[in-house]
Structure 1
Amino acid sequence: MKTLQIKTAQNVNIKFTVANVFQRLLAFTVDNVIKFAYIYFGIQLFDFSLFDPAINGDTWTIRALDVLFFLPVTFYSLYSEILMDGQTLGKKLLKIKVINEDGFKPSITDYIIRWFLRIVDFNLFMLLFVYVASLGLSDQYTLLMLLFMCGKLVGFLLILFTEKNQRFGDIIADTIVIYLKDDVQFSQTILENINDTYKPTYPNVIKLSDNDARIIKETFKTASKLNDYKTLIKLRSKIIEVTDIKSVHKSDKDFIDIVLKDYNYYTQNM
Structure 2
Amino acid sequence: MAEIQITTTQNVTIAFTAAEVGERILAYFIDLVIKIAYVGVILFLIGSFSSSGGIELEENFNVDPWSVMAIIIILGAPVFFYTIISESLLLGQTVGKKLVKIQVVKIDGYRATFLDFFIRWVMRFVDINIFSGVVALVSIGSSKNHQRLGGMASGTAVITLKNKVNISHTILQEVADNYKPTYLSVIKLSDNDMRIIKENFLRAKKANDFKTILLLKEKIIGVIEEEPLPDVTAENFIKCILKDYNHFTKNM
Which residue identity does 2:238 align to in structure 1?
N
How well do the aligned residues superpose, as a CA RMSD in angstroms? 3.9
In 1: Cα distance, 2:164 partner to 2:71 partner: 42
Normalised to the residue count of structure 1, the TM-score between the two structures is 0.62
- 1:131-155 CA-to-partner distances (Å, cap 9, x unmatched) read xxxxxxxxxxxxxxxxxxx242111
Give the counterpart of 2:80 among 74, 97, 100. 74
In 2: Cα distance, 1:192 partner to 1:109 partner: 36
SS of 1:4's equivalent in the other structure is strand
Normalised to the residue count of structure 2, the TM-score between the two structures is 0.66
Aligned residue number for residue 212 of structure 1 = 185
In 1: Cα distance, 2:94 partner to 2:226 partner: 26
In 1: Cα distance, 2:34 partner to 2:154 partner: 26
In 1: Cα distance, 2:121 partner to 2:223 partner: 24
Question: Is there any run of 5+ residues in structure 2 with no aligned partner, and where?
Answer: 175-181, 196-218, 228-233, 243-252
Which residue identity does 2:25 align to in structure 1?
L
SS of 2:184's equivalent in the other structure is helix
Aligned residue number for residue 70 of structure 2 = 64
Aligned residue number for residue 174 of structure 1 = 155
Aligned residue number for residue 32 of structure 1 = 32
Decide whether the 8 Å contact of 1:113 with 1:172 is kept in 2.
yes
Distance 1:267 1:76, change over 3 A: farther
Which residue identity does 1:38 align to in structure 2?
Y
Q: Equivalences for 1:134-213 in 2 at 5 Å?
A: 150-182=131-163, 210-213=183-186
In 2: Cα distance, 1:175 partner to 1:191 partner: 31
In 2: Cα distance, 1:263 partner to 1:87 partner: 22
In 2: Cα distance, 1:27 partner to 1:155 partner: 14
SS of 2:5's equivalent in the other structure is strand
Which residue identity does 1:14 align to in structure 2?
I
Distance 1:217 1:191, change over 3 A: farther
In 2: Cα distance, 1:106 partner to 1:23 partner: 21
Identity of aligned residues (%): 36
- 1:216-258 CA-to-partner distances (Å, cap 9, x unmatched) read 2557469xxxxxxxxxxxxxx997476399xxxxxxxxxxxxx
Distance 1:85 1:192, change over 3 A: farther
Question: Is there any run of 5+ residues in structure 1 with no aligned partner, and where?
Answer: 125-149, 194-208, 223-236, 246-259
Decide whether the 8 Å contact of 1:190 with 1:214 is kept in 2.
no
Aligned residue number for residue 121 of structure 2 = 115
Q: Following TM superposition, by how much is the alpha carbon of 1:107 offset from its aligned partner in structure 2, in angstroms?
A: 0.9
Distance 1:155 1:79, change over 3 A: same
Higher relative contact order (CA 8 A, sep 6+): 2
